[in-house]
A and B are shown apart, each in its own frame.
Chain A
Amino acid sequence: MGIVIAVISGKGGVGKTTATANLGLGIALNDKKCVLVDFDIGQRNLDMILGLENRVVYDMVQVMDGEASVKQALIKSKVNENLFFLAASQTKDKSVLDSEKVQKLVTELKEEFDFVILDAPAGIESGYEHTIEFADAAIVVVNPEVSSIRDADRAIGILDSKSHKVKNGEEVAKYLIINRIVADMVQSGEMLKSEDILEILSIKLLGKVPEDKGVIDASNQGKPVILDKKSIAGQAYGRIAARLCGQKIEMKDVEISDSGLFKRLAGIFK
């Protein structure tokens, strides 16, 4: 029996889908069976970032409607045999989802996989509510800026009131990924510090991902950045995936840039 994790953010464009793709691949690289489900119905992106857009035959809406079986719709990753993908429908809209269908699909996937990762749509509408409804845990992705934090706060509030688990008196575990951190801007006070973000959201920190130009190119190529051993964002996703698989890996302080360290050392020897 696996665990269902919803990747949420509230605000769009903070890197939710990129995080989903990288964590999925990272988990698979740790020899765990993982499936990624794109819940952003009508605006699917995850297939492109995984480089699987040509392989989509059936989507998850067809599975839920009984037009195809889960086995038929699952797409195996080209890079790792532990990673599978279930695409969103590009032609339908969010209204096709209902609680019963979602629960049936999620339960079925949970039996087959160690990790079921659901990529939530941006916003807090019905599509979002269906994504979080049957999740055991949530990963909240934010950027170090006030609008992202406030939207994430709202999304967490809805998670805490609409989740199936919470309604049964249990708690949904919530983890935070701070994405696109620019060390120099944090040091100069232009960007929010991790401590301040944690203070506002008060959930557990899962990892910090620095800003990395390589991410855009990796997404365009359909090869998640975690595959690039030299990329700092890729390394950060590697650490986060390992933490999700139960390894104890210390937080790396990506808020101190190397150049900043050199400047400080130079200051000492002046």
Chain B
Amino acid sequence: MDSMISDALATLLADRCGADVVRAIESGAPPTELWQAISEAGFADAMVSEAQGGAGLSAEAVAGCWMLAGRHAVPLPLSETMIARAMLSEQSITVPDTPIAFGIGHRTPAGTLRAVGISGGRTAGAVLVTAAGDTRLLNTDNGRSERCAFELDLTLEWPESAWTAAPRLAVSLDTRLAQALVLSLQIAGALDAVFRRSLAWANEREQFGKPIGKFQAIQHQLALMAEESFAATMAARIACLPAPDGASSATASPGLVGALAGIAPLRVATAKARTSEAALQVAQMAHAVHGAIGFTHEFDLQILTRRLHAWRQTAGSESAWHDQIGRALLSPETTSLDVLRITTDVVAG
């Protein structure tokens, strides 16, 4: 991870993306000010090539930024925007000055194109939608919108004319796989934040005359949270590293391209599956440790735990990705150790 860029983003987010800002945007305030601060500081173009005016950073280098987007509950699709801007500028498509979300499109019987539960869709100005292997950049304002269970998500439905007129990527992007990658990192960042909050609360809150963190039952809950958080974070970080030879061909997925070339689908599957399982476990344990106060709207814990549930359910929950990994294991030429090796080996260098 490139700590210089993530340190800079951490400073900006601490200053400009506090819980009050997150609450206001979730309640319907426009994200314009936050977007401008992030965009003007250059973070949205971190993965855009240097020739195109960006920083030319790899997924490995920006992984820390994606984790920060989770840790700070950034209420706009920053991670997706970083990838989208790199791909659009690489293919000489005009890049809109708005956050860009990722969508998975389906044709409806009425002939419209519908993308359900677009993560961060409500604060995005455009959506990179992939349908039947074709990726196009659509505006959010010419689609019919429906609210989703999670406040910042949006379902959008575009007429065929909007789809046909939209700029098309010459090389399509598997938006579900790319989103699974960035959500894994965001979940990892949120898991760590939830875990640290719970640890601090256990040291602060007193019952029976001592901090509750002195009780063995609470200590063991926190130990389990640490285990889940560290394991999930490892899976997410490994997914961002260049994979060894052979890793990319282990699943049927065409894989990722452009700024995400070299990322192995099997590693993304593992990352999203493991972080999604941990999201549920850690959210449950954090609320158990916090008691009633953690259940209030006023207390900030819920900002993160609602996201853990939402992100677990976006771009495939654990079972969806277990199916993918399972299919890789059914190949008769491999042993389970060899599948584990291509899923975890770090290329020396």
A is bound by B = no
